[in-house]
Amino acid sequence: MITGRYAPSPSGRMHLGNLLCCLLAWLSAKSKGGQVLLRIEDLDTQRCPRHFADAIVEDLAWLGLSADGPEPPLYQSERAEIYQYYYDKLADRGLVYPCFCSRSQLHAASAPHRSDGQVIYAGTCRHLTPAQVAEKRKIRAPAWRVRVPDEEIAFVDGHMGPYAENLARDCGDFYLRRADGVFAYQLAVVVDDALMGVTEVVRGADLLSSTPRQLWLYRELG
Ligand SMILES: [Zn+2]
């Protein structure tokens, strides 16, 4: 069965962009006899208080677009242990390393940029020695990145058509975890879509370029 999902990030009341995305996900799944599941992407609990999530559930019900489950919806803010398990799988393989770069270092004018404006990580902290890491940790807590391969990841999007990225060249090592311990969107999305049995993702075009990273993580996490 086709299983789609709504995955709003409740940093405010629902807006037209959320609504359009939910409607399209609903239409796509329902037109094929499928179901739609609801997941609240509230990893950043400061930005996403529970009352906004509750309001989204109410608004969807009022619009006749209620999800088919789970009940209650799945809250990413309650799943840190699960993300930790999968994070550790990558860390145990030596694929995760600490990054001490500041925002201003990452966004320096000389930093390479993608066509969508995002910064490509230059790999500055990729080869720090244990001694260098220990020294830097005295000054600031690191965020954590995953080492990506020099490999092209290609897929065909149902609307946008073929899309491919070489992860090393077009993206660079990306964040799995913030310095404050919050897991990154890229990791949580992959783990949740897999565990929820999601077979179809309908989402904004701004997330097209996240898909190669997520397909690669999906593969690496088995
Ligand atoms: Zn760094």
Angstrom CA distances, 207 to 8, 191, 204, 210, 216, stand at: 13, 17, 6, 5, 15
The model's pLDDT over 6-58, given as tens digits with 9 standing for 90+, comes to: 999 999 999 998 899 999 999 999 999 999 999 999 999 999 999 999 999 99
Report CA(111)–ligand 1 centroid distance (Å). 12
Q: Does the pLDDT at position 131 exceed 80? A: yes
Residue 221 has pLDDT above 90, yes or no: yes
Q: What is the pLDDT of residues 134-158, one digit of tens each?
A: 999 999 999 999 999 999 999 999 9
Residue 97 backbone phi and psi in degrees, to 5: -145, 155
150: CA distance to ligand 1 center in Å?
18
Gap from CA of 69 to ligand 1 centroid (Å): 40
92 CA distance to ligand 1 centroid (A)? 20
What's the rounded Cα separation, in Å, for the pair 114 and 119? 6
Cα 4 to middle of ligand 1, angstroms: 36
CA–CA gap between residue 120 and residue 148 (Å, rounded): 12
CA dist list (Å): 131 to 91, 128, 135: 19, 8, 6
All structural domains of the chain: 1-78 (3.40.50.620), 79-222 (3.40.50.620)
